[in-house]
Structure 1
């Protein structure tokens, strides 16, 4: 709509603009708001510091910079990447509307909260909430971790950015009509894992009151790592015997593009057998530490922040690796000669014991492939293995641990809806992936719904299941989408997701009050009970609570024997 509007917060005055949701309702947009000082100079790799007040009126109508990242091309800016967006229907203190803070995914190495590409607020803003979406530091800039305490780079700077953003929300959200005492954090993939890390971090205690983890958790093997100075130095081409002091000095003086090129050598390795170089680490004890104990031990002891939660996954997360393999030359996306790379590094198998490793690899092959040979003809089995090892199993066990040691309800879900909104699956299954990439990329950048329709109507290799990240397109309006007709099938599916998520943010229970919501058709989402995953909400055309299906249960039992360390 373009009409300007102003609001004064703690640090100064912001100029935003009027916008419309996809049902033509009006809301206010304030984008690119700084919440911390620029992380440059001496603040590179360090914990964030609060943003300084400004004079005059700050323009909050232009997209803020994303954290530097390298995905074929260099993107982002380091000097002003710590910014967030706020969307609200009313600008008045004292309204106390539920607040939802979204954390984007991207494997801790890519992504942003840009509302003009994927994370448009137009779906969620049909509900009376205040929505906040944030940017945080990624890759080496956000997750360099050194063991030398004198250097004060213990790691997790990107996670501390998120904590700083939540502190900003506590201080300022009242000016946008939001309730600082009713904040729900939610995120997908690495964003889902980030939400879970905030749940187990003492540094985030009291900054939020509910949490939704979509397709990511602290027990996924890619989420938790170890100090990475040696690996980063190797990627940057520094001498092999370099001290951490030397590494830090070189990195602080290096250009952003040079750091991104070094990071590109390892950033896409999500092999479950591999401890990722960029991930969240356990820090040595110090003031301001984000995490000083392994999250598994925190969950076992019930020391997590006790808040109501939703956790879940898509029905075929592993299909995402076909998509990734089409974008880059990621080795794990190739067909393996052995199943050794499928043995999660956080399971019971000692990687130095060759006999145990061989036995586990043979067990995996026998269980998943039966008598079949590994080939392109049965690639769906690869998708299933990565689905389980990289995503589903860790999420299921996290749910069980929360139920065992938690004092608040936890709700489990499986996303199974398949429609024209499932763009990631279409990309992964497109018979002409290069053409699809070009067409879809153009539609995103230009906002052309016509070009977007061409992309989403291309011929596919059909395989049942919902790909990793496809749930996003039911919560956020991607730029390629055209007008969605009210009361159409797509509209109903979007509203189902939106209402479940916002009901939870409003009350801590995703099920609406009896008779209050025809879109959800009287669906009842029960919290997880006392036995394993006895209630899982299947988000499909039926919207019903079920248990695990027989195939999922069988796969869970298979991996249980290799994860006795999880304690459930």
Structure 2
């Protein structure tokens, strides 16, 4: 292959190749680079191990498989246990001045998602002089099984350790690809944004990146901020037909040899209806306070307590959400089961309160939340605006506010807040769910399509003509993100006369509303709406920030 290029890494040489982006610019493509051993057998749940060295160049010209999961886009099983690798894209492997590095953590709600080029194509960002890194990591139970017995050395949060392993690989190797290891920006959307937030909090990640972008996700997200320690492992094994003793060593031995596909398919069935519908759990295995320190503990205390002294409070970030994250709830009339689940307002009582289902206090709080969004009006499929609002606020906007307030109260880093309100035919999540044009707002995940080419989401007859609003949005978002990565400043010529200033403790949600008809600085409208949650934290005497 005449466009082959060989680059050294700490474990051995690799072969990449040249590609041409959809916009016509050539770039170098390196995919499926090993950064950890495949977690097979005894390695399934433990901390990541370094790969074996090799001598002959590995073929890293093609995309590798994702890690085992049921993918959200088609609800089909995909992946392999060997799907843990890193991808690097750059238009210059030997620039005169090293490029800033953008490291993307893919989303997927803890249990799904992947970093494949089909959904994370670097075409748009390759128009800029940056190095883009994506990577696959352990998902679901493989990333978050947590056992109490220190002798088993599985305290939990292995997924975060995979992330750290990748970040350390970047520190040691990215200069070989033209990247600057001293200018790394970690960013992600949804669970990827939440993961980025966790890394800003844990001391294990300190110094491995220098700026961050949190897109529609924080460590205080009400879905995955607080995973209680329950008998999840026993439930999973029993769901798979296990009839042995309930000691952790026996459970682990069973899970180390069980079929990985069955583990993935069954792990979503271990929660009770109460845990799913009233507590709002989307999975049983997620971030947890580790029961012991195995020498590199990632989470040692409640997130909000750790955030007060977090190292990441002193680095600059961008943080924001879309204008209507839960826009798909507008389809409730066609999905009665979906509606019945989301109309239960007990699920919006903050998980940190640890209130029993149907307790007097929890029911009282649920009623206060419902009245905040509906008044005395009945919740119905004909009026789902309140359901969209309460989901947007409880899951994303209020946690974003808390993270911002904690940073502003305890750190020196700048925080640039944004609200992505850009709507064109490139809002691929709107297209996937066929959202009514009468609801001109951006849905959860819509912003990703303005940074990455998402071939796997493109619809029939999809096009991006030059000089279209969609193409202008891509240019705008690519400029904002790459300029922030380079200089820590998101102000770019495409914003015209707008001066995007960092938010302050007096105005934590004053930021940039990004809109196809003109972006502007404003106090985000969600702030007034979610004050009910501030009051609940005060009533419950819980730490708000």
- Distance, in Å, in 1 between the alignment partners of 2:78 and 2:260 is 10
Say which of 361, 378, 382 aligns to 2:383.
Answer: 378
Tell me the CA shift for residue 3 of structure 1.
Answer: 3.0
Say which of 513, 518, 540 aligns to 1:538.
Answer: 513
CA deviation vs aligned residue, 1:386-443 (integer Å, no higher than 9, x gap): 111111111121111111111111111100011111121233345xxxxxxxxxxxxx
Residue matched to 1:340: 346
Residue matched to 1:84: 86
Is residue 466 of structure 1 aligned with residue 469 of structure 2? no
- Distance, in Å, in 2 between the alignment partners of 1:183 and 1:323 is 40
CA deviation vs aligned residue, 1:56-111 (integer Å, no higher than 9, x gap): 11111111121101244321000x21101100111127631100000000011111
Contact 2:214 2:318 in 1 (8 A): yes
Residue matched to 2:485: 505
Tell me the CA shift for residue 464 of structure 1.
Answer: 3.5
Say which of 248, 266, 270 aligns to 1:262.
Answer: 266
Contact 1:45 1:157 in 2 (8 A): yes
Question: Across the two proteins, how many residue pairs are aligned to each other?
Answer: 527
Contact 1:2 1:19 in 2 (8 A): no
Contact 2:313 2:413 in 1 (8 A): no
- Distance, in Å, in 2 between the alignment partners of 1:417 and 1:534 is 18
Contact 1:93 1:175 in 2 (8 A): no
Residue matched to 1:30: 30
Tell me the CA shift for residue 522 of structure 1.
Answer: 3.3
Shift in CA distance, 227/337, structure 1 to aligned 2, threshold 3 Å: closer
Residue matched to 2:3: 3
Tell me the CA shift for residue 321 of structure 1.
Answer: 5.2
Is residue 560 of structure 1 aligned with residue 534 of structure 2? yes
Contact 1:123 1:498 in 2 (8 A): yes
- Distance, in Å, in 2 between the alignment partners of 1:294 and 1:330 is 36
Report the secondary structure of 1:5's partner residue: strand
Is residue 185 of structure 1 aligned with residue 186 of structure 2? yes
- Distance, in Å, in 2 between the alignment partners of 1:223 and 1:349 is 14
CA deviation vs aligned residue, 1:456-513 (integer Å, no higher than 9, x gap): xxxx36323211111100000111376533333221111111111111100111113x
- Distance, in Å, in 1 between the alignment partners of 2:33 and 2:488 is 28
Tell me the CA shift for residue 343 of structure 1.
Answer: 1.5
Contact 2:237 2:254 in 1 (8 A): no
Residue matched to 1:434: none
Contact 1:36 1:82 in 2 (8 A): yes
Report the secondary structure of 1:171's partner residue: helix
Contact 1:195 1:211 in 2 (8 A): yes
Residue matched to 2:414: 409
Say which of 520, 523, 528 aligns to 2:503.
Answer: 528
Structure 2: segments with no counterpart, 5+ residues: none
Question: Superposition pairs for residues 419-438 of structure 1, below 5 Å?
Answer: 419-430=424-435
Contact 2:427 2:442 in 1 (8 A): yes
Greater mean deviation of Cα atoms: 243-252 or 261-270: 261-270
Report the secondary structure of 1:196's partner residue: helix
Residue matched to 2:293: 285
Residue matched to 2:523: 547
- Distance, in Å, in 2 between the alignment partners of 1:462 and 1:176 is 46
Contact 1:113 1:135 in 2 (8 A): yes
- Distance, in Å, in 2 between the alignment partners of 1:320 and 1:53 is 47
Report the secondary structure of 1:138's partner residue: coil
